[in-house]
A and B are shown apart, each in its own frame.
Chain A
C-alpha cells in the first residue's frame, strides 16, 4: 500500500527550535542548501538516499540535541571546547556531525569541515616533498579538493577575512598582507603544488583571527583518530611515514588544540576508515591511542547509540511514507518485528536492510 498523496505524517520541524520533545522527528534540508553547506562530508549512502527521494531528511536525535544545547550556551571568551562523538559502527556519528554543521551554518558560523581524516593518511598517489619544510610531505590532490569544497561552503567569509602576513609562493607570485583569504584559496586551487601550503595558511589565519570575534569558527573533523594513528604511505625507499611528517596532518593537529577562542571543535572517532585498529573498537581511548588521547585530553565525550524504540518507529514511518519499503510483508507487524530483530535498531544496518526490501 503506497502512502503517496496523503499528507505528511512525519512532521517537519524548524531546525533552530529543536528541543527535547522533537526527538525522533525528521527535519528537511533543501537541496540548494545541501549543495552549499555540504559539498563534501555526507556519508555516501545518505547521498544516494537524497538522490533517490529528492529530499534530504535528518532525524533529530539525543546526542545531536545535547551538542546543540552546549553550542548554544558556549562562552566565546573561553578556549574552544572539544566534543568527541563516539559509538559503534553505523550508529549515526557522521550524520549527527552533519546536523551540527548545518545548525552552525544556519547561525552563520565559519565551518571548517574535514569530511574524513582517514582519506589523508592512506591511498595517496602523489606525495611531494614539502616546499615549506623539507622534512614534511605534501599531498596536492587531497589538499586542492578540500580547498575547492571549503570555498563552496564558506564563500561569503572568504572576502571578509584579511590575511595578516605576506606569503611568497614562488619567484613570481606572492600574497600581500591585508588581501582577502579568497586569494590564498584561489592560489591553492590553481597551483596544485602549493595547495597543501595554502591549506596550512588558511588554518593558521583562521585560528589567529577567530579570537578577534569577527566570526565564530566551527572545526568539524570526521575520523580524528587518523591524526594519531599510523599511515600506510611510504617514501620512495619504502620506509613508512609517520602522520606528523604529513603537512596536512601536522597543521590539523595544531587546529584541534584548544589554545584559541571564539568557536568550538566537534570531532568524531570512527573505526570504519581507520588503519590497524580492531573492528570492535569504538571507545575514544582505544581508537585514539595514548598520544591522541593525551593531546585531546580535556574533551566532552558524547555517546551515539542505536535507535530507541520511538526513533525506530519514526524511521520505519519515514521509509513507508516515501514508499521505500516496497515488499508487501514489510508493512505488517511481523515484518517490522523482523526488521527490528535483524538490525538490532542499528541505523546503518536498518538502512541497508530496507534498501533491498
Chain B
C-alpha cells in the first residue's frame, strides 16, 4: 500500500491549534491515523548522556539547541520509552506486535523467556563445540535477534494494483519500515500457526530465530517465495507509477 492511509471524510470541522493537517492535502480527505500533536511539538530526548555533557563542552549548535528546547513544547514520552541502557526499540516493537488484547506483561515475559532460551541453547552448543568452533558461535541473544530479523527482511514486495478491472500483483521496492514490519509479522505468524500443540511460544520462537540467524528455516523460505513471485511477475513492473 503505497498511499498513506487516508480515509475519505466529508469536510472537516474547525479543529484546534495543535492538530496537524494531512500532509498530502488531497481535497476532501481527512487523515485518520494521525497524532494529536501539531508540527511544533518536539520528540522527547531520553538519552541520559545528552544531558550529562558539561555545558563548557557543547558546540555552538548544541548550545543553541538546548536554549531552543527550553522554549519549545515537547510531546509526552510514551510509557514504553525509558532511559534504561538495556532498552532496544526493535525488541519493544516486536513485543508490541506479539501482544494480544493489551496484555503487555505477558508479551514482555514471553520475549524475555525467548531471549533466555536462545542464550541457553547457544551456551549448550558452545560447551559442546571444539575450540575453533567456539569462536564462531554467537551467544548474545540480542545480536542473534537483530541478525535473524535482518535476514528475514524481503528486498522487494508485491502490491495489488487495479488495472482494467483486475488486480495484478506488481513487484515494488519496499520502504525500510515496511520490510522490518514484514519480517516481524512473518516471524510471529509462523510461530503462532506452525507450532506443535504442547510447545510453548518462547521455545518455538527461539528455534525459529536461531534458524533464521543461520539463513534456513520457514521464515527465510517465505522471504524467498516472495522474491520468486516478484521475479515471476517481472513483466507487470510497468504498472507501477511511483
> Which among B59-67, B111-119, B182-190 touches the partner chain?
B111-119
- Chain B CB within 8 A of A334 CB: yes
A333 to B, closest residue via Cβ: B85
- Quick one: which of A217-240 are within 8 Å of B by CB? none
A323 to B, closest residue via Cβ: B139
Residue of A329, A335, A357 with most partner-chain B CB within 10 A: A357
- Chain A CB within 8 A of B171 CB: no
| CA distance in complex: A327, B118 (Å) | 13
B84 to A, closest residue via Cβ: A338
Q: Residues 234-259 of chain A: 1 if any B CB is under 8 Å from the residue's CB, otherwise 0? A: 00000000000000000000000000
Interface SS of chain B: helix, strand, loop or mixed?
helix
- Chain A CB within 8 A of B214 CB: no
- Chain B CB within 8 A of A21 CB: no
Q: Provided the pairs A335-B85, A338-B84, A356-B119 are in contact, do residues A326 and B142 lie with their beta carbons within 8 angstroms?
A: yes
B interface residue count range (under 10 / 10 to 19 / 20 to 34 / 35 or more): 10 to 19
| CA distance in complex: A330, B86 (Å) | 8
- Chain B CB within 8 A of A7 CB: no
Q: How many A-B residue pairs have CB under 8 A?
A: 37
- B112, B115, B124: the one contacting A52 at CB < 8 Å is B124
Taking CB atoms, residues of chain A closer than 8 Å to B123 are 52-53
- Chain B CB within 8 A of A48 CB: yes
Q: Residues 101-130 of chain B: 1 if any A CB is under 8 Å from the residue's CB, otherwise 0? A: 000000000001101100110011001000
- Chain A CB within 8 A of B157 CB: no
Whether B85 pairs with A329 at a CB distance below 8 angstroms is: yes
Q: Provided the pairs A52-B123, A54-B127, A357-B86 are in contact, do residues A326 and B140 lie with their beta carbons within 8 angstroms?
A: yes
- Chain A CB within 8 A of B141 CB: yes
- Chain B CB within 8 A of A355 CB: yes
Whether B124 pairs with A338 at a CB distance below 8 angstroms is: no
Taking CB atoms, residues of chain A closer than 8 Å to B139 are 323, 326
Whether A355 pairs with B116 at a CB distance below 8 angstroms is: yes
A326 to B, closest residue via Cβ: B140
Q: Provided the pairs A338-B84, A356-B115, A356-B116 are in contact, do residues A327 and B124 lie with their beta carbons within 8 angstroms?
A: no
- Chain B CB within 8 A of A123 CB: no
- Chain B CB within 8 A of A332 CB: yes
Whether A327 pairs with B140 at a CB distance below 8 angstroms is: yes
- A52, A54, A330: the one contacting B120 at CB < 8 Å is A52
A322 to B, closest residue via Cβ: B123
Whether B116 pairs with A334 at a CB distance below 8 angstroms is: no
| CA distance in complex: A330, B87 (Å) | 12
Minimum C-beta distance from A106 to chain B (A) = 27
Taking CB atoms, residues of chain B closer than 8 Å to A52 are 120, 123-124
| CA distance in complex: A48, B123 (Å) | 12
Residue of A48, A328, A332, A355 with most partner-chain B CB within 10 A: A355
Minimum C-beta distance from B240 to chain A (A) = 42
| CA distance in complex: A357, B115 (Å) | 8
Whether B120 pairs with A338 at a CB distance below 8 angstroms is: no
| CA distance in complex: A327, B115 (Å) | 11
| CA distance in complex: A48, B120 (Å) | 9
Minimum C-beta distance from A50 to chain B (A) = 12
| CA distance in complex: A48, B113 (Å) | 13
B82 to A, closest residue via Cβ: A338
Whether B141 pairs with A356 at a CB distance below 8 angstroms is: yes
- In the complex, the 10 A-B pairs of residues with the closest C-beta atoms, listed nearest first: A326-B140, A329-B85, A356-B115, A356-B112, A355-B116, A356-B116, A52-B123, A334-B85, A52-B120, A335-B85
A contact set with B: CB distance below 8 Å: 48, 52-54, 323, 326-330, 332, 334-335, 338, 355-357
Cross-chain pairs A/B with CB under 8 angstroms, 8 sampled = A52-B124, A326-B142, A327-B142, A328-B140, A329-B85, A332-B85, A356-B115, A356-B141
B contact set with A: CB distance below 8 Å: 48, 84-86, 112-113, 115-116, 119-120, 123-124, 127, 139-142
Contacts A332-B85, A338-B86 supplied; 9 other A-B pairs, CB < 8 Å: A52-B120, A53-B123, A326-B139, A326-B142, A328-B140, A329-B85, A334-B48, A355-B112, A356-B116
